[in-house]
Amino acid sequence: MITLEEMPNIGDVLATRLRAAGIETPQELKRYGACLAFEKALLSYPDACVNMLFALEGAIQNIRWHQLSSSTKKELRQFYEEVKPTT
């Protein structure tokens, strides 16, 4: 079984943020999906940016986030615009 840190795009900081949001394993991240995991992380880290959302989706797909398709990035960016905290 791999750890969060062994997934693409997930380093120590993002893994810590996921664990603070109650997501402990890669299996849990995959079960939640990138959008719900991002929403959970926003509760503790309102400074989370769209790149975090891209990183989560890339980790779930087992690719670097830069390799996400344009359509996936567009969908994720639209989701981000709907859920990001307003200042």
Confidence of residue 6 (pLDDT cuts 50, 70, 90): very high
What is the residue extent of each domain of the chain? 4-83
pLDDT in tens, 25-69: 999 999 999 999 999 999 989 999 999 999 999 999 999 999 999
Task: Answer whether 85's CB lies under 8 Å from 42's CB.
Answer: yes
Q: Would the CA dihedral through 57, 58, 61, 62 be positive or negative? A: negative
Overall CATH class of domain 4-83: mainly alpha
